[in-house]
Chains A and B, each alone.
Chain A
Amino acid sequence: MLIQSDELLNFLQRCRDRSLGSYRDVYCPVWPAARDSPHAILSPLRGTDRPALDGHRAVDPVKLLFYRVRERVAPFRADLAASLLTGIKACDVRALELLDRALVNEDFADPAYRAWRERTTVLSFDCTDAGPTCHCTLVGGKPFAETGFDANAARFGDHYYLSAATSKGEALLDLVRKNSRVDTVHNTIPAAVEARRAEMTAKVQKQSEAFARSDATALLRSAPPEGWKEESAACVGCGACTHICPTCYCLILNDESGPGDFVKVRSYDSCQWHGYARVASGASPRPRIDERFRHRYLCKLVTMKAEFGTLGCTGCGRCTDACPGGIDFRKAVHRLMANAEGGRPDAAAR
């Protein structure tokens, strides 16, 4: 289905107005009021907002909506109102696929995350641009989503090509069809969309070239200690990287019960913090900053891959953007992998 970009924007605004009656909330990356800011912020869509549907991913990871910084999880009462999450890009869709496995599985279901996912329709958008730290192609991703969304919008000249992947996505497209002017096209992806996607993929590949490395990330385990010390030299252990990472979900469970009830609140924790794994005796398995730094890299690139079948890094580049020490995740992994393979970085790049 094809829809003109203005028509789709108009539809999303009307979703928010609730005149269509289907979604109570619409979440979307929006341009902040300061017009010169290049950073779109993920937020509830308001009438005055300018949605940022194209371009690359927003500053905020989607977990901020699904898995909040601080949230009561027991007793838990699910909010059942349907909501629409739109404008998110492939790296964030991939993060949702990982969190789905981590937070709702046969052993366990996080009540808040599950409720959010069930009531939310995800309309993802193809990237039409790459941010300076974007590197999805380095971690086996693409700048457009192929799975994990309910519906996807691919930019196509002045139009979007909309396709649904789930029944929630079908319902959304039905709603668009009923309330907007659309052109029905055949179900295969138009050649122009394919061409644009190839162009975007090439762009990300090109800017990632300098950081190329082998896919055998398990080798990181054997990177020498000096390598980790070198890469973490500028790390101050603030935890910005973990808090902004779309797949980090480490939690602290606090008891905030009052008299006569039992209340549990979960909030984010960071493996980069000194007290993270410290036990009552005072012992910590990773007392040094370079050990905690290494733990995070291994978690993203080795442990999560073994656990969930997908890397814990989606190539969004947020950790690099957020690091006050200026540590570039791509560069660090590139060099560590080269060291682990027994060569110098230059050798690995060749």
Chain B
Amino acid sequence: MKPNPYDAIPAVITETIDETPLIRTLRLRPERPLAFRTGQFIELGLPGLGEAPFTPSSSHFISDSLDVTIMKAGFLTDHIHKAKTGDKVGLRGPFGSAYPLEEFENRDLLILGGGCGLAPLRSLFLTLLDEVHRYKSITFYAGAKTPQDCPYKDAFPEWRKHPKVKLVRAVDVVPPGETWDEEVGVVTVLLAKLDIDPSSSPAVVCGPPVMMKFGTRDLLRLGFREDRIYLSMEKKMYCGIGQCRHCLMGGYYVCKHGPVFTYAQIKNEEGLWD
């Protein structure tokens, strides 16, 4: 008998970390193990309020706890931002496709992300670091609107120390009164300084649709291969199992066949960047 796909695994919030005024990370301890592969997503529900899809932001090698980084964007996420340590949430999943780590082996990997798209990329990055001997190098370009909007502030200095890691951040603007000693501009401007071979390197892109669209365009211009550009797509996903049909994009369910697609797979689908 198949398990009921709508059943939730209870999980306790063990810690909350306010990353930015709009972004918060919840550390969760599920009652039953929830083994995911980085890139996959889960449905996180607040009892009585609703559930929505989120991608874990912790390494997939950690199994007893799970980080989820969530931006305040509406009714449910407002409540998630009000949740306290000790509160219970319900988890379903994991769902969908993962980043194909084997394709990254012995290669120079580019990670390009912006805003809340950094959540799944943090999971990918931490997972890669856990087995960093498998990879040649990791270039991580991270964007945010303003210095205040950068998540994982404390972690960046640590991540930077790693010899195989090249990590650069850019903010769109620096408002008066804030300080910033890294790059300024949309995150794709960082690509001008890229010093890996595009024709042999995989690239992972995650962020707001407009950033994904122009990021992909720029990567193609640089010479990255269509089948080595990995996109984490965002569509409305109620169920996670290709049943509710909301995330249908051409012939693909983003929740089931994605959320990680190569650009080559989906480049002709209607409404790709909408």
Contact A250 B2 (CB under 8 A): no
In the complex, what residues of A have CB within 8 A of residue B246's CB? Answer: 250, 269, 276-277
Give the distance in Å from the alpha carbon of A261 to the alpha carbon of B241 in the complex. 22
In the complex, what residues of A have CB within 8 A of residue B209's CB? Answer: 281, 283
Contact B47 A74 (CB under 8 A): no
Contacting A255 at CB < 8 Å: which of B10, B50, B77, B245? Answer: B50
Q: Which of B157-165, B182-190, B230-238 contacts A (4 or more CB under 8 A)?
A: B230-238
Contacting A74 at CB < 8 Å: which of B6, B245, B251? Answer: B6
Nearest B residue to A72, CB-CB: B6
Give the distance in Å from the alpha carbon of A249 to the alpha carbon of B241 in the complex. 14
Q: Which of A51-59, A108-116, A164-172 contacts B (4 or more CB under 8 A)?
A: A108-116
Nearest B residue to A287, CB-CB: B274
Nearest A residue to B52, CB-CB: A280
Contact A266 B6 (CB under 8 A): yes
Give the distance in Å from the alpha carbon of A322 to the alpha carbon of B248 in the complex. 25
Most buried by A among B242, B243, B251: B243
Contact A255 B6 (CB under 8 A): no
Contact B243 A110 (CB under 8 A): yes
Contact A269 B48 (CB under 8 A): no
Nearest A residue to B270, CB-CB: A285
Most buried by A among B71, B208, B236, B238: B236
B7 at the interface (CB under 8 A from A): yes
In the complex, what residues of B have CB within 8 A of residue A14's CB? Answer: none
In the complex, what residues of B have CB within 8 A of residue A279's CB? Answer: 234-236
Give the distance in Å from the alpha carbon of A277 to the alpha carbon of B253 in the complex. 12
Contacting A73 at CB < 8 Å: which of B6, B50, B238, B242? Answer: B6
Give the distance in Å from the alpha carbon of A235 to the alpha carbon of B98 in the complex. 40
B239 at the interface (CB under 8 A from A): yes
Q: A108-B2, A280-B52, A285-B274 are in contact. Are A255 and B251 (CB under 8 A)?
A: no
Interface residue ranges of B230-274 to A (CB < 8 Å): 234-236, 238-239, 241-249, 251, 256, 270-271, 274
Contact A303 B6 (CB under 8 A): no
In the complex, what residues of A have CB within 8 A of residue B101's CB? Answer: none
Most buried by B among A111, A253, A281: A253
Contact A107 B256 (CB under 8 A): yes
B261 to chain A, nearest CB (A): 15
Give the number of A-B contacts (CB < 8 Å): 107
Most buried by B among A73, A256, A262: A262
A308 at the interface (CB under 8 A from B): no
Interface bits A256-289 vs B (CB < 8 Å: 1, else 0):
1111011010100101000011111101111000
In the complex, what residues of B have CB within 8 A of residue A103's CB? Answer: 243
A273 to chain B, nearest CB (A): 11
Contact B248 A299 (CB under 8 A): yes
B194 at the interface (CB under 8 A from A): no
Contact A262 B244 (CB under 8 A): no
Nearest B residue to A259, CB-CB: B47
Contact A280 B77 (CB under 8 A): yes
A330 to chain B, nearest CB (A): 24
In the complex, what residues of B have CB within 8 A of residue A299's CB? Answer: 245, 248
Contact A107 B241 (CB under 8 A): yes
Contacting B49 at CB < 8 Å: which of A108, A255, A269? Answer: A255
Give the distance in Å from the alpha carbon of A107 to the alpha carbon of B216 in the complex. 32
Interface bits A287-307 vs B (CB < 8 Å: 1, else 0):
000000000000100010010
B89 to chain A, nearest CB (A): 10
Contact A262 B243 (CB under 8 A): no
In the complex, what residues of A have CB within 8 A of residue B7's CB? Answer: 74-75, 262, 264
21 contacts between A and B (CB under 8 A): A74-B7, A76-B6, A107-B241, A251-B238, A251-B243, A253-B238, A255-B47, A255-B48, A255-B49, A256-B48, A262-B8, A262-B45, A269-B246, A277-B236, A280-B73, A280-B74, A281-B73, A283-B274, A286-B274, A299-B245, A299-B248
The 8 closest A-B pairs by CB, nearest first: A257-B47, A74-B6, A285-B271, A280-B73, A285-B274, A262-B8, A255-B45, A264-B6
